[in-house]
Amino acid sequence: MRAALRLTLLAGLLVHPSRATAQRPLLLVPQPREGRIEREITLTRGISVATPAEDADAFAARELSDALRENGIPVSEGGTTARVVLLRTTSPSARALLARAHATFAPEMHDEGYLLVPDGTTLAVIGATASGIFYGAQTVKQLVAGRGSSAVLQMASVRDWPAMRYRGLHDDLARGPVPTLDYMKRQLRTFAAYKLNVYSPYFEQTLAYRSNPLSAPPGGTISRADVAELVAYASRYHIDVIPEQEAFGHLHHVLKYELYAPLAETPRGHVLAPGQPGSMAIIKQWFAEIDTMFPSRYVHIGADETFELGRGQTADRIKRDSIGPVYLGFLKDIVTAIKRPGKKYLFWGDVAVNHPGLVASLPKEMAAVAWSYGAEKSFDREITPFTNAGIETWVAPGTSSWNRVYPNNNIAFTNIRNFVRDGQRLGAVGMLNTTWDDDGESIFDQTWAGVLFGAAAAWQPGESSIERFQQSFGRAFYRDTTGRADAAERLLMAAHATLQKAGLGEGSDALFWRDPFSADGVISAEKIRNYSHDLRVAAESALV
């Protein structure tokens, strides 16, 4: 393949206004399985984007064209310096090009894989499906650097497909600011650009239900109309919207109302009481409406951090039967009550993981989401109780963005790398990277480095390189070829590390809001005294 490509490119160099490149790595997010820059073309007369026959790929062509125009690059049908063409593997043009390049489109590439094949001044995107074509077009976006007539297109040979079937971002819409519909659409476009294919909005009380409208805060909910528009928009970008409605714990903002107080395990607490008839009634009402709003074959029932279980209405039952059987029994009851043909029900694995002997009794309609957010070396403990039991398993690392002034990527990058690596090795089918808003102060736009590293780790096979990502992120996300954006992220990581060295943990919101004249504030000030210079230099340098 490479010999044929080199001959083609050598002939092109004699005719076309382009330049050969010394071997250097492709700085892309995600990093493709196979790829190299063959040469570069300066787009002095712009570029054309064509999809000869497939109406299904017209959206990918328009979306790519719009992105190029946003960077001041003229896009027209003819007379341009370069051309991008989107081809299905079954087309005569693609077959001829693959034959000339001695390139193969393997069976594992079918669903979402693609090839980029340079041919003269044309860069062909070849895929078997609309998803594959779309993802190839997203890679082309990252191969363009600069603006206007000085923009450069890297003519790269690429062969690529994902390691994991489901690659998602889970966003807390219950405890922080509820985003506008326009902002969520921008999120979806960005997720898709880096090959995420799942968006999971998290709800406690902020999804508007006709059957139970009381707990939804006015002006702070996602309406049925919002959901319909969001789901339709996401599908164009090959994203499945998988809702999470907490169905066990984290329900204080429902249970605080007198109408629902009898359902609480403890007075105005956070946990629905198993065995309380009203608990199952409200769950059935919620998920009946969810079924009419979200067409995904997956739905997430939550069920994490049920700390109050056994402290109230179920105390006697827990004493008799213990936590594991009661907890897992209620999960099974929930799924039995709400299940629909063809549906899969995700649940958080933090409680069930402690009862591996009972996990095998869960119905096969359930899928475990193993989660943990620390910078651990191994996550086998969180994953194997489910994979060993034959339960479909996803892994959920985190962006370490909650309860912090800025995400702590020292933790997040290691957590994401190791958890996704172990998930792939142990047979997990999906990743659900998480952003939480525990104290309501998280800003989503600060989390993009962690979000994109999650996208890369789930697409790339095996252990993803943090160093390689840190070299690629600024160029891929900010279109920054100077390295300043990547340097700023590393400096903010250094600021967190300095606080840890000082014995203050990290840049937490609690530390930020601590009264400097309180007893704790005086202790914190004393700890930081010898480190304040390094801390300030790191933080200030990230701004310039």
Quick check: 258 and 268 in contact, CB under 8 A? no
Say how far apart CA 41 and CA 303 lie, in whole Å: 53
Rg of the chain over Cα atoms, rounded to whole angstroms, equals 25
Asked if the model's pLDDT at residue 53 lies above 90, the reply is no
Q: What is the pLDDT of residue 52?
A: 84
Q: What is the pLDDT of residue 25?
A: 84
Asked if the model's pLDDT at residue 512 lies above 80, the reply is yes
Quick check: 294 and 241 in contact, CB under 8 A? yes
Angle ∠(529,540,445) on CA atoms, nearest 5:
115
* DSSP reduced 3-state for 414: helix
Query: What are the residues whose beta carbons fall under 8 Å from the beta carbon of 25, sequence distance 6 or more?
Result: 468, 471
Say how far apart CA 461 and CA 425 lie, in whole Å: 9
- Write out pLDDT tens, residues 460-505: 999 999 999 999 999 999 999 999 999 999 999 999 999 999 999 9
Q: So where are the chain's domains?
A: 2-160, 166-464, 484-541
Say how far apart CA 160 and CA 35 lie, in whole Å: 8
Say how far apart CA 170 and CA 229 lie, in whole Å: 19
Cis peptide preceding 30, ω within 30 of 0: yes
Q: Which two tokens stand for residue 183?
A: 């902002």
CA distances from 232 to 165, 200, 275 (A): 21, 15, 38
3-state secondary structure 454-518: HHHHHHCCCCCCHHHHHHHHHHHHHCCCCCHHHHHHHHHHHHHHHHHHCCCCCCEHHHHHCCCCC
- Across the chain, mean pLDDT equals 95
Place of tokens 């096979």: 461
Q: What is the pLDDT of residue 79?
A: 83
Compute φ and ψ for 198, nearest 5 degrees: -135, 135
Q: Please give the CATH architecture assigned to the domain spanning 166-464.
A: Alpha-Beta Barrel (3.20)
Say how far apart CA 142 and CA 153 lie, in whole Å: 9
- Write out pLDDT tens, residues 13-47: 333 444 555 567 899 999 999 999 999 999 999 99
Q: Which two tokens stand for residue 300?
A: 């997430």
Q: Which fold has domain 2-160?
A: Chitobiase; domain 2 (3.30.379)
- Write out pLDDT tens, residues 101-146: 999 999 999 999 999 999 999 999 999 999 999 999 999 999 999 9
User: What is the bridge-based pairing of β-strands 47-50 and 166-172?
Assistant: unpaired
CA distances from 423 to 432, 463, 531 (A): 11, 10, 38
- Write out pLDDT tens, residues 236-259: 999 999 999 999 999 999 999 999
**Alpha helix stretches (DSSP H) within 114-263:** 130-142, 181-193, 224-236, 252-255
Say how far apart CA 418 and CA 329 lie, in whole Å: 32
- Write out pLDDT tens, residues 150-169: 999 999 999 999 999 999 99
